[in-house]
A and B are shown apart, each in its own frame.
Chain A
Amino acid sequence: GENVEQHPSTLSVQEGDSAVIKCTYSDSASNYFPWYKQELGKRPQLIIDIRSNVGEKKDQRIAVTLNKTAKHFSLHITETQPEDSAVYFCAASSSGSARQLTFGSGTQLTVLP
């Protein structure tokens, strides 16, 4: 089955700086890569996703890049703000037999004011 590894597990940045979170996956058939943000005590919420026919996707201060050859994808947050502080999860899935999202272990991002 799919295995998703996520790094770092914790990340502290100064307000205004950029944050990068990286994930690798094992199943070459995976073709959907969402990122979820989970604030303390809340539900995970999708912030951006990318599919395997695209190398990069951007939405305001958030961008995701995908390298299918190397089987890794990254989340980039620019101009970080205190409200960006949360746990971020990457995930991967395929439309093959598994048809389930496999999540990374999460990154606790803290933006220091």
Chain B
Amino acid sequence: DTAVSQTPKYLVTQMGNDKSIKCEQNLGHDTMYWYKQDSKKFLKIMFSYNNKELIINETVPNRFSPKSPDKAHLNLHINSLELGDSAVYFCASSQGGDGTDTQYFGPGTRLTVL
């Protein structure tokens, strides 16, 4: 009965590779998000997405792209991985999409780029 789940939990890969992280929520929420948490614990929004609109943080490189096959899933694709991409990536979801609903986080994916 996990609310927001992510796979894989750990991902170790070489520079230059392309990888994906999957996220699923069973809360029936309309909006999903991707956050990046760096080694200093800063939590930074990367994307927010519902079935109507994708909002991209302008600082996110275009090597990162969200893909949503349906309302319950928001996957993160990363092309040409760089050392600086190493971080913990959290998926989250909320009922509405106006930024003022409680966000529920997934368990995180620790990405290490060698």
Residues of chain A touching chain B, judged by Cβ–Cβ distance below 8 Å, are 31-32, 34, 38, 42-46, 49, 51, 87, 89, 93-95, 98-103, 105-106
B3-44, CB under 8 A of A: which get 1 and which 0? 000000000000000000000000000000100000011111
Cα-based distance from A93 to B98 in the complex (angstroms): 9
Cα-based distance from A46 to B95 in the complex (angstroms): 14
How many whole Å from A3's CB to the nearest CB in chain B? 12
Q: Given A43-B106, A100-B55, are A32 and B44 neighbors across the interface (CB < 8 Å)?
A: no
Q: Which of chain B's residues have a CB closer than 8 A to the CB of A44?
A: 43, 90, 105
Residue among A51, A95, A101, A102 with most chain B CB within 10 A: A101
Q: Is B62 at the interface (CB under 8 A from chain A)?
A: no
Cα-based distance from A42 to B110 in the complex (angstroms): 11
Task: Establish whether residues A106 and B42, one from each chain, have CB atoms under 8 Å apart when the complex forms.
Answer: yes
Sort chain B's interface into a size bin: 20 to 34
Q: A46's contact among B55, B103, B107, by CB below 8 Å, is which?
A: B103
Q: Is B48 at the interface (CB under 8 A from chain A)?
A: yes
- The contact sample of 24 A-B pairs, CB cut-off 8 A, is A34-B102, A34-B103, A43-B90, A43-B106, A43-B108, A46-B103, A49-B102, A51-B100, A87-B41, A89-B43, A94-B99, A95-B99, A99-B55, A99-B97, A99-B98, A100-B48, A100-B55, A101-B103, A102-B45, A103-B42, A103-B44, A105-B40, A105-B42, A106-B41
Q: Which of chain B's residues have a CB closer than 8 A to the CB of A34?
A: 102-103
B81-114, CB under 8 A of A: which get 1 and which 0? 0000000001000000111101111111000000
Q: A93's contact among B40, B44, B99, B106, by CB below 8 Å, is which?
A: B99
Cα-based distance from A98 to B57 in the complex (angstroms): 10
Task: Establish whether residues B44 and A101, one from each chain, have CB atoms under 8 Å apart when the complex forms.
Answer: no
Q: Which of chain A's residues have a CB closer than 8 A to the CB of B99?
A: 32, 93-95, 98-101
- Name the residue on A nearest B31 (C-beta): A99
Q: Given A43-B107, A87-B41, A106-B41, are A99 and B102 neighbors across the interface (CB < 8 Å)?
A: no
